[in-house]
Amino acid sequence: MKIYIPEPAIAHNEGFSVHADIFQRKQFGERLANLVRSCKDGFVLALDSQWGEGKSSFIKMWQGHIGQNAQNPIRSLYFDAFANVHQKDPFLALAGELYEMIIDEDEEKKTVFKEKAMGVAKSLARGATKIGTRTTSSCGFKNGSSVDSMEHNISDLLADQVDSIIADKLENAKKDKLAINSFRAYLKTFAQDYGNGAPIVFIIDELDRCRPEFALDLLEQIKHLFSVPGIVFLLVLNRVSLEETIKSRCGSGVCAVQYLQKFINLWLNLPTKSGHYHQSSQYIDYLLKQMLEDGEIYFDEVAQKLLNDLSRLKSLSCRQIERILSYLAMTYNMGLLKDLGFEYQLIIAFVCYLKVIKPQLIERIIHKNIESKELLEAADISSTKDNMHDSYIDQLRLLVRYDLGDEPTKYSLQEFNGQLRYVPTNMLLTVCEWMSTISR
């Protein structure tokens, strides 16, 4: 069984197929497409969602939905900002994506594009030139006059260097301004030529995962260099994380919300699954099938059904579900699930849940300093929703109270449910000790 969840297999033209659109976001995708079509001027949209809610999968489906098979197709470009974070300057990386839209045979248009882009690149390079000083240690000089003489020579050299840099900046200021204006005017024409009557949508994914300098430089260049009529930018990110990036770069005194308003015209929230049980259950089933090797059969239906109930109760994110299933796959591959009964399967699934949601509780179970009531409350499963009675969580709660209970408690619970007389003891301790050897 695969331990890591494979990337969703979404074909480039698949769109919101029943197979791929587990969380039923097609309607939202259609509304987003209509919004993009209406953006005639340069516009920057931001699609906000928590980590692990399926932003990248949604974008892959959406690109297919608005592509050539659509009634009114929209051309789109996809740029993974985090994969390009090694670039010193985002300008050439962004320009390169647009350059790829020009067909190979059109050498004249390629030449014009390169000339326009090179003009801006040179301007940015001049703007990035810094006037700095070098410090020289006097260590090793016995004669103070030698140090004085060196400092005088350095001052003369530095003054000449500063004069040269400033003169160069002044002389090229007008040229740089013209190069940027020329590039923006060219992009406007470029969008008309290659947009087929609709805006070109430029998707920037994973921006919130980039180092602060790259992320903010990219935002500034989108605003000042690429934001022209006919090109719509769609930034796919986690807003809270990006705001923290701004604070780390600009200082805690900066209002990150107001700062982002300079660059982003409109924020949208990616619809979540909103606790729909069948969606979570369908997603878990989908992932388990993706994790199975060829010919392999997953037999632990009890653990799967408990995870379905936990996901429904706690509104687990896609990423949390994926990590829980990864831990479950590890126990499966290590042979820990083999020939174990119903009770152990429930406990193993519960401990995998704790490993992701409340890992500190596992250590407390191992050190025997937590009681069942506190554990259930800390794991936030001491009660369930009104429509979840007789769920697997009810059976889990009974097992936890029995497993961690003292002898009178165990006897009382056996009177309530005679089947508990045949349940193994110390299941939680045993499974937690297994899981404590896995650090991930």
Same domain, residue pair 304 and 332: yes
Residue 384's pLDDT is: 65
* pLDDT of 31 higher than 80: yes
In a domain, 247, yes or no: yes
Same domain, residue pair 347 and 430: yes
Residue 133's pLDDT is: 37
**24-28, 218-222, 254-258 — which is least confidently predicted?**
254-258
DSSP of 35-72? HHHH--S-EEEEEE--TTS-HHHHHHHHHHHHSTTSSS
Residue 129's pLDDT is: 46
Same domain, residue pair 416 and 390: yes
In a domain, 51, yes or no: yes
In a domain, 246, yes or no: yes
Choose one of 269, 302, 335: the last residue of a domain.
269
Could you read off the pLDDT of 116-125 as tens digits, one per residue?
999 999 888 8
| Residues near 3 by beta carbon (within 8 Å), at least 6 away in sequence | 291, 326, 329, 330, 333
Same domain, residue pair 31 and 81: yes
Q: What percent of the chain has pLDDT over 90?
A: 48
Same domain, residue pair 308 and 248: no
Choose one of 236, 269, 302: the last residue of a domain.
269
Same domain, residue pair 263 and 282: no
* pLDDT, greater one: 92 or 158: 92
Per-residue pLDDT, averaged over 261-279, amounts to: 77
* pLDDT of 167 higher than 70: no
> How many structural domains does the chain have?
2
Residue 145's pLDDT is: 43
Residue 181's pLDDT is: 94
**6-10, 145-149, 219-223 — which is least confidently predicted?**
145-149
* Cα–Cα separations (whole angstroms), residue 367 to 359, 364, 372, 428, 432: 14, 5, 14, 12, 10
* pLDDT of 241 higher than 70: yes
* pLDDT of 273 higher than 60: no
Residue 146's pLDDT is: 42
Residue 141's pLDDT is: 34
- CATH number assigned to the domain comprising residue 58: 3.40.50
User: Using CA atoms, how far apart are residues 426 and 215, in angstroms rounded to an integer?
Assistant: 50
In a domain, 7, yes or no: no
In a domain, 326, yes or no: yes
Same domain, residue pair 303 and 234: no
Residue 42's pLDDT is: 83
* pLDDT of 294 higher than 70: yes
Residue 302's pLDDT is: 87
Choose one of 227, 253, 269: the last residue of a domain.
269
* pLDDT of 134 higher than 60: no
Residue 169's pLDDT is: 62
Q: Please, what is the average pLDDT of the chain?
A: 84
Return the amino acid letter for 153. N
In a domain, 155, yes or no: no
Could you read off the pLDDT of 94-132 as tens digits, one per residue?
999 999 999 876 889 999 999 999 999 988 887 664 444
How are strands ordered across the β-sheet holding 231-237? 76-80, 200-205, 231-237, 43-48, 266-269
DSSP of 224-281? III--TTEEEEEEE-HHHHHHHHHHHH-TTS-HHHHHHTT-SEEEE----TT-HHHHH
* pLDDT of 336 higher than 90: no
- Inter-axis angle of helices 318-333 and 342-357, nearest 10: 130
Could you read off the pLDDT of 370-396 as tens digits, one per residue?
999 999 999 988 876 555 555 899 999
Token pair for 124? 């940015």
In a domain, 149, yes or no: no
| Residues near 259 by beta carbon (within 8 Å), at least 6 away in sequence | 246, 250
Same domain, residue pair 68 and 189: yes
* pLDDT, greater one: 72 or 156: 72
Per-residue pLDDT, averaged over 231-245, amounts to: 93
Could you read off the pLDDT of 399-425 as tens digits, one per residue?
999 999 999 999 999 998 888 889 988
* pLDDT of 264 higher than 60: yes
Residue 440's pLDDT is: 61
User: Using CA atoms, how far apart are residues 434 and 310, in angstroms rounded to an integer?
Assistant: 22
Residue 151's pLDDT is: 46
Residue 144's pLDDT is: 43
In a domain, 143, yes or no: no
* pLDDT, greater one: 334 or 436: 436
Same domain, residue pair 113 and 240: yes
Strand (E) or helix (H) holding 341: none
User: Using CA atoms, how far apart are residues 362 and 360, in angstroms rounded to an integer?
Assistant: 5
Residue 54's pLDDT is: 84
What is the domain range of residue 284?
Answer: 277-435
Could you read off the pLDDT of 357-368 as tens digits, one per residue?
999 999 999 999
* Reported confidence tier of residue 135, pLDDT bands at 50, 70, 90: very low
Please count the residues of the chain: 440
Same domain, residue pair 247 and 291: no
Token pair for 227? 């934001």
Same domain, residue pair 242 and 290: no
Same domain, residue pair 281 and 263: no
